[in-house]
Structure 1
């Protein structure tokens, strides 16, 4: 978001001067024109010299009206250059006056904050052009709209018919609100109208609106016979969550009775008002609204206040008939930390500020947490959480922080890495696998994704040094490897989590360009190990689930299959010309981090179709990609790439995926996004043919295929503890 600041007094002085100059120039123009009209014969003057704008800015009137440059003649006719220039300057003055007035009004109404020296500002969303129309739309009109929609929503919710005085229903008001829900000026105006406490009661009121009571003759209205339209209620509360988030942004202020409101303090007070404990459930739903981005300072302050409140195990549906829970929203949680931590998942800076309130770099690229940070983690590890969603919130915040591992500021990256490692330890060593929810798994997969370099290292039998999990002096420790493998095991049966880890590991292993045969070998051996390791972890998880339920095991196997498909799809994006095709949503550059997991169901249909590839299993497809990259990178002799080496025996013509070197038609081996088994077989047959083997003097194609197989076999053995090569011992997975 952008706040444009200005000095209202100095700008007004400039506007008045500009208007005066324009008026003077227009008077002179009219005088010259009149003398010309009244004179018989040749005009006294047909043009005048160009003039500069007031204030010595050096801008020429002629530049405004399309003149060729400074010093040229300006026609003085009524509709010609001089007149047009005057009109333009009057318009500029009016636009500046409007901008100034918008900024002054936003400040005087308590919407935007004043800066030092009496400066005021107006708001514009990021990327929106600074035009008068936009300034008015996102400031004064937003304030009016927020106030009007708040009034209408209150009227509609209070009406037995659910209709406001302006004729709009609750649904219609919420639909209009959704159009402006992320505009800070709108949000502030809306919250100002209700007041913070009134706003906190809205989730319960929206839920009541979407509730019907069943029973003979309508029955007694209590939650025992209530039927709530959960989807409609959640959608409405989601809009309200965005509006509240908008009001917490830096640069705007909520006010009550003319005084600036400390939003964190007011919200905390509102949910602790005697008799209104139920508001906590509504607040959590507001904070957890999907896609809502709350202000960082607000979240950190609020979380610091709420962490002192214990969760007593109360469930909204069970306490709905108890006194003291006014404002209850039964679709939410009463765990004080759930909502605020969930919100931090959408604001990684806030999550980092809360989870690492103090500390310092250790001088070796690591981080030493301070006393407050250690105490906070002790609290988070020892408190009781809502068993349904509590840890969903914590892991969302942890996932958000992990996205900052790639930050350019060394201290930020180091502290984010410390949080990531500490979060892994908590998830594996302090939380029972039985307590994992599907949302937790998706969030925790983001930790692995943002530690893709370390995950690939573990798959290749190396220590994940970058996480700082092991004693740097203990070269042989397996603690870090076991921890990463255990976390992968715990989440791999969730399809989105499996896809997230696979995409990140594939991008990490295959992201680097190669310029030598050895670089090619190392790249594909590491990639094959990463794919096989993840596949083996998924296989073990599925086998362990067989004893519990066949359906759970089937789901785990499907998730593992998705992981392999995602991995090979990403692998194919680096070969040929498919980077803008179906694989594009799953491909990113080295060093990129994620704040959210990959959602398979949200992928484009063509991407999902590419994942449904029968050739994805095993190492054959990865071998085909390795051979294709060898050909495309100039690592294979030209003789091996001659057209006669790529003739399809079924047609007698070159394969559709082959382009003759130097033809300019594309890569030599231009594989589709999801090559089928037939294409994979054709590529491997080309690479393994006697003619190509003779031409490939350094055996690049044969060596890279062998390295793919070795990498896959050894990685699988590390998980299955069947290392036939007698090398690395297997990782130990914590399954408790």
Structure 2
């Protein structure tokens, strides 16, 4: 979404100046035209200023331009005065959707016309829901009104104006004495309550879904989301009905579109002090197959899973101190909040939400400097990630308490800590890592990875994060590296692969899964790891097949902000090989890429490289790298690589191969050694 900001005074001065110049131009053209009509015109100037000429039309062009600018300014002023697009001082703004062309028609459609439509629909729905025949005064049914609302449900200006207009509708034609004193937000929540009354808990009520989208749209910072939070969840929420809290919790949890940052942080801050089990069984309801209670904090945290900035701002609020190494020490407020949250009596939906926010916040790890208005982003995210790993990888939470959603959410924290996972897999100390230090232990990293890795999407998420880390690390180091550097990098990558494989095997064995399922799970995760490490394909570059994964790492670069869906990531990989061919083994994929890097950086003999080029392997004739697509590492291709290796007899290839075997053994050994808590 786009908000175009204008300086009201400066732009009006520009409009006035254009109009003044147009008038002067028109007057001067008229003078020239009159003289050449009444006097002799030896130079033929008359036709140059006649009606329809370029000079004569310039004043009209300027007036038209100033008129279009005036429309934009008037729309922005009207939106600001209506309280929809709030701004400071002399700045006003109007709204356009992403991809929307900035035309007069669109500016009006998404601003003043949106406001008018919102007022009309709000009045109509208030009438219909309170009338005996279920129709508004203009004769429309509730379903018909909702159908019109659904067309605008994701437009912030429309949705914000709609909630405002409910208040006016109740004041003008109240259906009860109580309605007169209710805010638009209160009436909106009551609509949400009614919208789910006649539906079973197995489905998402369609009208509830529409209202959820509208709430998300109206919650954006640019249309007063922070102010809306105070109306939706007044003070500490004690005046709200249980039904409204359940509706708000479910809407925050079920709506896929992003809620505003300040709205979410404010809602979470207001609701965190409430009893999570308030109302008992009466304070619960099943919506879309999920049991929701009146604990709105769980819903706010779930919504933060789609808004990493809100998650970081709430869970590791700005403040505290950062030392010379980039390590963040929280202030008392942030530390106290973390201590309260990790020991809170969550229900399952709340725990899913808590971990969703933790996963999203971890996507700010390893960013450089400040990100926009997120100060000390990496330092704060690193502190939070370390505490998350220690809590969920320690004795506070048992593995049987992990839902599948929790596993996927927490896999993000592991995936966004790839350097520390790699260090653990090599048996090194976490203090050896660069930048801010992750405040946890290798054992906690290993325990948490073990607990989540039997979920295939969690395994793919971790494998993707690790693979991307090693791919970038190899690319960076080999710009000035030698054979020792290459071997060290591939030994490290292989250690990460062996570490993942051993933890999957251990977890699925403990789950009493059969051997075939264990093998499939290990091969899938290892293939994702080695393919990403070799090709650099990631959730952000996988193309349209990965669209279901969005949004990724919004505003934070190359880390992962949502769990990877393994089927979406790997969809189409098989299209790069013959249908009768099978995929290559993960180890052989890593080895083949090691040989490619050795050739690229001149670490193989000229004879070996020439033989590879002749066979269409490793390098093109011009010396550039042969880009193998993700599915191109087929069994037949890798057998060709092995045949080339044997025929070339280059000692350097054996050094690479031995390094990979050594790394695999080390990673497996470290996984077994560091796995200290299987409970």
State the TM-score, normalized to the length of structure 2.
Answer: 0.84
The reply to whether residue 102 of structure 1 matches residue 75 of structure 2 is yes
CA contact (8 A) 1:568 1:616 kept: no
CA distance in structure 1 between the aligned counterparts of 2:192 and 2:289, rounded to whole angstroms? 6
Q: Is the 8 A contact 1:642 1:660 kept in 2?
A: no
Using the TM superposition, give the Cα deviation of residue 454 of structure 1 relative to its aligned residue in structure 2, in angstroms: 0.9
Superposition pairs of residues 432-447 of structure 1, within 5 angstroms: 432-447=398-413
Q: Deviations over 1:565-607 (max 9, x none)?
A: 21122133159xxx87899989x99972111111224447314
Q: 1:620 to 1:162 in 2, by over 3 A?
A: farther
What is the match of residue 193 of structure 2?
204
Indicate conservation of the 8 Å contact 2:3/2:222, yes or no. Answer: yes
- Alpha-carbon distance, 1:13 to partner: 4.8
**Aligned-partner Cα distance in 1 for 2:36–2:546:** 68
1:92 matched residue in structure 2: 65
In structure 1, how many angstroms separate the alpha carbons of the residues matched to 2:661 and 2:144? 60
In the TM superposition, residue 616 of structure 1 has moved relative to its aligned partner by 4.5
Contact 1:448 1:488 in 2 (8 A): yes
Counterpart Cα distance in 1 of 2:135 and 2:524: 48
Counterpart for residue 724 of structure 1: none
SS at match of 1:123: strand
State the match for 2:606 in structure 1: 638
1:150 pairs with one of 108, 122, 125:
122
Residue 623 in structure 1 maps to residue 591 in structure 2: yes
Equivalence for 1:713? 665
1:669-712 alpha-carbon deviations (Å, 9 max, x no partner) = 857633221211110121122xx12xx3xx21110011011101
- 2:157 maps to 185
Q: 1:733 aligns to what?
A: 676
Cα distance in structure 1, aligned partners of 2:289 and 2:191: 9
* Residues 1:200 and 1:330: Cα distance change in structure 2 (over 3 Å): farther
What is the rounded CA distance, in whole Å, between the counterparts of 2:588 and 2:134 in structure 1? 63
Give CA deviations for 1:390-438 in whole Å, capped at 9, x if unaligned.
1111111111211112332272211111011011111122111111111
Distance 1:44 1:714 in 2: 93
Cα 1:114–1:502 change in 2 (3 A) is: closer
Secondary structure of 2:458's counterpart equals helix
Deviations 1:444-476, CA, capped at 9 Å, x for gaps: 000011101111111111223357456xxxxxx
- The residue that corresponds to 1:681 in the other structure is 639
> Which stretch shifts more, 401-410 or 311-320?
311-320
Cα 1:11/1:440, change in 2 over 3 Å: same
Residues 95 and 107, structure 2, Cα contact 8 Å, conserved in 1 = yes
Partner residue of 1:136?
A: 108
Superposed counterparts of 1:504-583, under 5 Å: 504-511=465-472, 512-513=474-475, 514=478, 515-546=481-512, 550=513, 558-574=520-536
Q: 1:95 to 1:536 in 2, by over 3 A?
A: same
CA distance in 2 between partners of 1:252 and 1:596 (Å): 26
- Is contact 2:75–2:112 with CA below 8 Å preserved after alignment? yes
Unaligned runs of 5+ in 1: 48-74, 212-226, 255-260, 322-326, 471-478, 648-653, 721-729
> Which of 360, 380, 396 is 2:321 aligned to?
360
Determine helix, strand or coil for the equivalent of 1:121. Answer: strand
Distance verdict in 2 for CA 1:521–1:21, change over 3 Å: same
Q: Give the C-alpha shift of residue 245 in structure 1.
A: 2.4
Number of residue pairs the alignment of both structures matches:
638
Distance 1:555 1:172, change over 3 A: farther
> Which secondary structure does the structure 1 equivalent of 2:161 belong to?
helix
Structure 2: how far apart are the matches of 1:565 and 1:507? 13
Residue by residue, what CA displacement relative to the aligned partner does 1:512-555 show, whole Å, maximum 9, x if unpaired?
32242222212211111111110110000000000xxx48x976
1:706–1:2 Cα change, 3 Å: same
In the alignment, what sits opposite 2:92? 120
1:181–1:603 Cα change, 3 Å? farther
1:413 maps to which residue?
378
CA distance in 1, matches of 2:129, 2:573: 43
Distance, in Å, in 1 between the alignment partners of 2:243 and 2:278 is 13
- Verify: 1:392 aligned to 2:335, yes or no: no
CA distance in 2, matches of 1:328, 1:619: 43
> 2: CA distance between counterparts of 1:422 and 1:373?
12
Counterparts of 1:535 and 1:414, CA distance in 2: 30
Which segment is superposed worse, 153-162 or 633-642? 153-162
Q: 1:349 to 1:172 in 2, by over 3 A?
A: same
Aligned residues of 2:460 and 2:528 also touching (Cα < 8 A):
yes
Q: 1:709 to 1:315 in 2, by over 3 A?
A: farther
SS in 2 for 1:332: strand
Partner of 1:492: 453
Give the equivalent residue in structure 2 for 1:246.
217
Q: Distance in 2 between matches of 1:431 and 1:609?
A: 42
For 1:177 and 1:531, how far apart are their aligned partners in 2? 51
Determine if contact 1:445/1:597 at 8 Å carries over to the other structure: yes
Q: Which position in structure 2 is the counterpart of 1:293?
A: 258
Take 1:501 and 1:374, find their aligned partners in 2: how far apart are those partners?
Answer: 28
Residues in 2 aligned to 1:128 and 1:144: alpha-carbon distance in whole angstroms: 20
Question: Per-residue deviation at 1:331?
Answer: 5.9
Based on CA coordinates, which of the two structures has the bigger radius of gyration? 1
Is residue 351 from structure 1 mapped to residue 340 from structure 2 by the alignment? no
Question: Which residue number corresponds to residue 594 of structure 1?
Answer: 560
Map 1:415-430 → 2, pairs under 5 A: 415-429=380-394, 430=396
Match of 2:293 among 333, 337, 340: 333
Show the counterpart of 1:59.
Answer: none
2: CA distance, partners of 1:84 / 1:565: 67
Distance 1:286 1:248 in 2: 12
User: Contact conserved, 1:661 with 1:668, CA < 8 A, in 2?
Assistant: no
CA, structure 1 residues 432+556, in 2 after alignment: closer, same or farther (shift >3 Å)?
farther
Which deviates more, 356-365 or 92-101? 356-365
Q: Aligned partners of 1:28 and 1:569: how far apart in 2?
A: 72
- Structure 1 range deviating more: 596-605 or 528-537: 596-605
What displacement does 1:439 show? 0.8
Taking the aligned partners of 1:29 and 1:591, their CA distance within structure 2 comes to 56
Question: Matches of 1:682 and 1:572 in 2, distance apart?
Answer: 17
Distance in 2 separating the partners of 1:563 and 1:671: 18
SS at match of 1:596: coil
Q: Assess, with a 3 A threshold, how the Cα gap between structure 1 residues 236 and 686 changes in structure 2: closer, same or farther.
A: farther
Q: Which moved more, 1:263-272 or 1:457-466?
A: 263-272
Contact 1:457–1:463 at 8 Å: present in 2 too?
Answer: yes
Which blocks of at least 5 consecutive residues in structure 2 are unaligned? 167-183
Contact 2:573 2:630 in 1 (8 A): no
Query: Counterpart in 2 of 1:661?
Result: 621
Q: Are the aligned partners of 1:338 and 1:394 in contact in 2 as well (CA < 8 Å)?
A: yes
Moved more, 181-190 or 431-440: 181-190
Q: How far apart, in 2, do the equivalents of 1:97 and 1:307 lie?
A: 46
Q: Aligned match of 1:308 in 237, 255, 273?
A: 273
CA distance in 2, matches of 1:715, 1:381: 31
SS state of the match for residue 19, structure 1? helix
Structure 1 partner of 2:180: none
Give the TM-score normalised by the residue count of structure 1.
0.78
Three-state SS of the structure 1 residue aligned to 2:242 is coil
Cα–Cα, structure 1 residues 602 and 179, in superposed 2: closer, same or farther, change >3 Å?
Answer: farther
